[in-house]
Structure 1
Amino acid sequence: MTILSPEQVAAAKANVDAFFGLAGKAFEGVEKLVALNLQVVRSTLAEAQENVTKVPGTTDPQQWFALQAGFTGPFAEKSLSYSRQVLDIASTTQAEVTQLAQTQYERYNARVQALVEEAAKSAPAGSEAAIAAWKSAITATTTLYETLQKTGQQAVQVAGSNFDALTASASKAVRSNSGQAPVAAGAKR
């Protein structure tokens, strides 16, 4: 039977805590998405019911086209709003998971550096080059991790900016189109 040292028990507990922290953040994101989807389904059903009750009262083709135009404008705006909320939930969840991962990485990196320092103290003479190589590898790994993290954050920012620009453009187009009702042939605006 193997007996774990207090350090091993503490490390195992930290790993379990990190796992549940990450899982908790992921489930929070999923929970927010489910709540958003339920809200969208409820409002869509209510609007569909309201719109269906309006249809039998339209006898004039002009009213019919105006009613149809009234359905598409709000739908497009709501689709854009939904997409924005999904992006917000995803980016918030990603940021929280990244923060937890960063904390775990920093803890792990500190443990590895401490291990190398301890090994350096008890290393035989002439092993300075090997210890320097270990330290160099740790530094390179840390630099790579930081670069990848910054690149990921920049990609999320660019995606958010592109989505904002697309949303603004689409919203402007929807507003300009929804303000124009179809005109029957020969009628004046």
Structure 2
Amino acid sequence: MIKPEEFAKSGFNFALFFANTTFDGIERLAVLNLAASRSAFEAFVSNVNTLLGVKDFKSFVEVQKELAAPTLEKGIEYSRNVIAIATDAKEKIAKQVETHVADTSAKVSGMVEKALESAPAGSEVAVAAVKTAMKSANEAMDGLNKVAKQAAEVAEASVSAATEATIKAANVAAPKAAAKKVA
């Protein structure tokens, strides 16, 4: 027999897992942001020193073009790291939710089955209705899980496509902008 305390403990453990996973992701983002800030500052200082040493406008444009590419690449790498951290946290939580829902569903089904076994004679129709309702609820939950996974996959693919499009657009725009400044 499943006890109410087991449900409460299971819910508490799930909430604790969720909180720890979230804090882990936040901590990883903080470390990433600190490293990116330090790197950006160091690059800024280096770039300013390089630009101060330029003697003419044509050289200035060339140096600026050379300095833009690594900055863009670092920005894209930062975006990829943020996406990786978010995806990792989402996958951990989604897996735990799936496990928790399946476990809870099995426990509830077991309790209902036990209760239905002791149903009075002549209540077969009501027992069948309860079993059908439980089966329908489980199928609906499975359908929702599949839709949620598909939505997450589409969102991740969209972010990846947008990142790649940004990279391509920036690589095309940077040389054109530099060429206009020279002319």
Report TM bin, short chain.
Answer: 0.7 to 0.9
Structure 1: runs of 5 or more not aligned: none
Total equivalences in the alignment:
181
Counterpart position of 2:68: 72
Aligned equivalent of 2:24, options 22, 28, 35: 28
1:136, 1:30 → 2: CA distance? 43
Equivalent pair of 1:116/1:131 in contact (CA under 8 Å): no
Equivalent pair of 2:65/2:174 in contact (CA under 8 Å): yes
Q: CA deviation at 1:84?
A: 1.7
Could you tell me the TM-score, scaled by structure 2's length? 0.86
Aligned equivalent of 1:175, options 149, 171, 177: 171
Structure 2: runs of 5 or more not aligned: none
Aligned equivalent of 2:47, options 36, 41, 51: 51
**Which structure carries more helix by proportion?**
2
Counterpart position of 2:182: 184
> Which letter does structure 2 place at the counterpart of 1:88?
A
> Which letter does structure 2 place at the counterpart of 1:133?
A
1:61, 1:104 → 2: CA distance? 64
Deviation beyond 4 Å, 4+ runs, structure 1 = 176-181
> Which letter does structure 1 place at the counterpart of 2:9?
K
Could you tell me the TM-score, scaled by structure 1's length? 0.83
How large is the RMSD of aligned CA atoms in angstroms? 2.3
